[in-house]
Amino acid sequence: MSYNVQPLRTQQEINDFLFCLRRNKNADRDVFLFLIGINSGLRMSDIVKLKKQDLISSKNPRIVEKKTGKTRILYLSSLQDLILEYTKDLAPEDYLFPSTKGGHVEVNTVYQMFQKVAKLLGRDDIGTHTLRKTFGYHYYKKTKDVATLMEIFGHSSEKITKRYIGINEDEISETLLNFRLGF
């Protein structure tokens, strides 16, 4: 079996995912994690270790990505109300996504949670990268700005970025349907 993680391509798919997460024991945490993920494009390994102070330190906070070691600016101004509400009772050094065992929730725990949601939704293409890919997919569909998305993701080519976010042949074909030059 191949590991074929896909983005959530429609608002309905996002809503269905949220519907399932809202029924979890730690629904507030899990929904907030999901929303941070689909609105930031961060890898799950960077999301799970976020602390309150990481998000409230400035309007556009910076984090150092675990995988690349690069500093990344987070543009989360559209989520400020949600962030303030979620973090209001947390100390600055508290993890945003605490584990019931102490520390922060682990990436594998999130993966297992997402697998339960995937099963409920009848999907076999959901993983922790689904959030990152969902961000990229919708960013690209809205802006068609693959160059900026490449920069956000740290990819070296447009081809890699488009393949990563699942811009497939059907979508490419759709964009070329009425494209004509020289007529």
DSSP class per residue in 121-147: HT-S---THHHHHHHHHHHHHHH--HH
Quote the pLDDT of residue 1. 43
Distance, in Å, from the CA atom of 146 to the CA atom of 161, rounded to the nearest integer, reads 7
> What tokens does 9 get?
């391509």
Multiple choice CATH, 9-175, 1.20.58.100, 1.20.1740.10, 1.10.443.10, 3.90.1660.10: 1.10.443.10
Could you give phi then psi for residue 85, rounded to 5 degrees?
-65, -45
Q: How sure is the predictor about 3, in pLDDT bands with cuts at 50, 70 and 90? A: low
Question: Tens digit of pLDDT for each residue in 58-105?
Answer: 888 999 999 988 888 999 999 999 999 999 999 999 999 999 999 999
Instruction: Show Cβ contacts of residue 91 under 8 Å, excluding neighbours closer than 6 positions.
Output: 52
Question: Tens digit of pLDDT for each residue in 108-141?
Answer: 999 999 999 999 999 999 999 999 999 999 999 9
User: Is pLDDT at 54 greater than 50 in this prediction?
Assistant: yes
Active-site positions read 43, 67, 129, 132, 155, 164
Q: Which amino acid is at 21?
A: L
Q: Calculate helix-pair angle for 27-40, 80-87, nearest 10 degrees.
A: 150
SS3 state at 44: helix
3-state secondary structure 65-108: CCCCCCEEECCCHHHHHHHHHHHCCCCCCCECCECCCCCECCHH
Q: Whole-structure pTM over 0.75, yes or no?
A: yes
Return the H-helix or E-strand segment holding 63. Answer: strand 62-64
Domain residue limits, the chain: 9-175
